Amino acid sequence: MTTRVLALLLFWFLTPQTLLAQAPSRPLVTVRLFVDLDCPFSRQAWPLYRAVRAAPDAQLVIQHLPLSVHPLAMPAAVAAVAARAQGKELAFVDALLAEKAADAAAIDRAAAAAGLDLPAFARTRADPTVAAQVVQEQQAGLAMGIRTTPSALVNGRGLSGVPRPEGLQRALQAARTRAERELAEGGEAVDLERVGLLRQAPEFVPALDALRQARALQPATAIPQLRGCLGQRWRVPVSETDLTLGPEALLTFVLFLDPQQAWQRQELAALMQLQADEARAGRADVRVVVKLLLGPTREAGRTTSLAFLLAGAALTVPVKAQEFLRALAHLAVTAPGTVAQLGPDSAAAVAKAADAPATSAWLQLAAELARRTESAPGAIFLNGRRWLGRATDDGLRTALAEARTECRQLPGKPAQVYASLVAQGRFLQDAELDLAAPESPGALPVLPTLGQSGQAVALFVDFRSPHSRAAFYMLRRLVTSAELPIRLTLAAIPHGAEPGDAPAAAAILAATRLGKGMQLAEALFNSDKPDTWPAIYAAAKKAKLDPPALQKAVAAPETQDALHTVWRARQRLDMRDEPVIYVGDRLYQGPLDESRLERAVRSVRLELSPPTAPAPGQP
């Protein structure tokens, strides 16, 4: 345990230095920071974000979002963009945010401190196009849902407010990990920031494009940003009950669609337009397949109703699928209005089909396929390859031509060609669905541990929860398993706002130092109110632990330091739901099922097993 903790600590603190020795040829991480230069919180956060520039694999891009509540914000933003024209925006912002205010005198001092050509700076500031550029940046930021400053996008993922230093570092490291995965999937053509946003909030991709266009000024050495590209191939079958436009064809688009979302209906309309354009050009070899996938929404009832009606249309009146999809793509989404486009007879058939068991099963199959192919609503596939972009992006027609060339080299009818292509694709297995990408829980203090050998498993629990209790006893059975033993480490999740608000977590750490950590944990799982000190002392007696000795151990500096470590781990890992289970350095995110937990443990153990040496005489 000590060796592992030391290794984790070394990894945590030495990662930036390691990256210095392996600087990539292009930035892996783009931090797009939205600031108001008259905002005290932007001033407070600036040193943290400014430090991003020191990392060789990251770039910091300033975006101005002057808020109306700060009267000096707009002139300060205009001045910063004028400094950008001389390539010294960062230096200007450094100097201005070091001032107490952003008034005219401070702007002049900051311009001089940044080494600007002051006459040219004055002329640029007075140019009305510069103020218009600031307004464009502001509007594009608002279109992305940014309302407060400071806010940041770390490769497309949001980070609001003044972050903790460790929180920003975690966001940067997570972005690096995702970027490496995206590059492995799509190659050097991947626009990492855009694809990151595409995965997280694809409806905001056009706003990001507008934001980039608003900046206008890019250094000559900037990485060329491509609009979209094809990623790896996935196993995306097409069934007879899918909503389909066109007969079997050489090229097949599959769109996972949540009909509630307007931007996804626009994606459908764009694919339908592309299909029509190809047909007019004499290339009638494109079909569009829609798989309904309900996404999170505040209007779940309306979405569910509409999706069931659409599914019913596919199952019972397939001849009307084209009319249905056209109505869906071009009209406002209301269940009665969309169904009415089919005519009274078909609408009645659709309404009847909504209650059919086959409809529910059809939707569940689409949801399961989405899980197996890492698809969210809005995901697009071309002959099984994930399109890393939007349907309106440049490059899609080029990708279509390349896919056409590929298919013409393959024997068989279109359906056979498509089946053979997608059969080569990825399909996430259960173990991959249950285990997140490697991400260490970090260095943990001395905690109660059961078992001497086997795969290390860390369990973070809430003693009040029956789910945590079930996970504890489930994993404890594996400790003594002859076939698949584990070493189980247990910690309580400190749910309080401060470490001192976590009596159960502190008690477990103190009891561990007294050699009774697991015994106290078991007693707490069988207590009525395990988060109160009276119940903890009662549980201590059951664990044959002297309450005064426990109280003294809780107050010890070593215990308090350990408690702060666990509390920081809770913050770092964003532990909201429990139980939280780490198998090695991978978060288990599957259902609380003993067979699946065993499979996850076995999967990680196989990953870590060294290759078996060949027997003498064998190659």
396 and 533 co-located in one domain: no
Give Cβ neighbours of residue 399 (< 8 Å, ≥ 6 apart): 228, 229, 230, 382, 387
The 10 Å Cβ neighbour count of residue 261 is 18
Within a domain: 528: yes
Helix, strand, coil fractions of the chain, as percent rounded to 5? 55, 10, 35
What CA–CA distance (Å, rounded) separates 292 from 379? 11
Within a domain: 348: yes
180 and 42 co-located in one domain: yes
Summarised one tens digit per residue, pLDDT across range 498-536 is 767 788 889 999 999 999 999 999 999 988 888 889 999
In this prediction, residues 219-234 reach a mean pLDDT of 65
260 and 354 co-located in one domain: yes
477 and 365 co-located in one domain: no
CB 258 within 8 A of CB 363: no
- Domain C-terminal end among 180, 215, 250: 215
CB 436 within 8 A of CB 589: yes
393 and 538 co-located in one domain: no
Within a domain: 159: yes
Summarised one tens digit per residue, pLDDT across range 76-103 is 999 999 999 999 999 999 999 988 888 9
596 and 478 co-located in one domain: yes
- DSSP reduced 3-state for 372: helix
pLDDT value at residue 619? 32
Q: Is the pLDDT of residue 356 over 80?
A: no
The residue range of the domain holding 402 is 233-423
Q: Is the pLDDT of residue 18 over 70?
A: no
Within a domain: 403: yes
Summarised one tens digit per residue, pLDDT across range 190-206 is 889 999 898 888 888 88
In this prediction, residues 121-128 reach a mean pLDDT of 93
End-to-end CA distance of the chain: 37
Within a domain: 3: no
Q: At what angle do helices 321-330 and 300-316 cross, to 10 degrees?
A: 150
What CA–CA distance (Å, rounded) separates 349 from 469? 49
237 and 208 co-located in one domain: no
pLDDT value at residue 116? 94
Within a domain: 442: no
Q: For the domain that residue 48 is a member of, what is the CATH number?
A: 3.40.30.10
In this prediction, residues 48-65 reach a mean pLDDT of 90
567 and 457 co-located in one domain: yes
Give Cβ neighbours of residue 261 (< 8 Å, ≥ 6 apart): 203, 295, 297, 377, 378
Within a domain: 435: no
453 and 385 co-located in one domain: no
478 and 379 co-located in one domain: no
267 and 137 co-located in one domain: no
Structural domain total, the chain = 3
Which residues, in sequence order, are bridge partners of residue 382? 253, 385
145 and 200 co-located in one domain: yes
- Domain C-terminal end among 423, 440, 457: 423
| 257 closest CA partner among 246, 275, 245 | 245
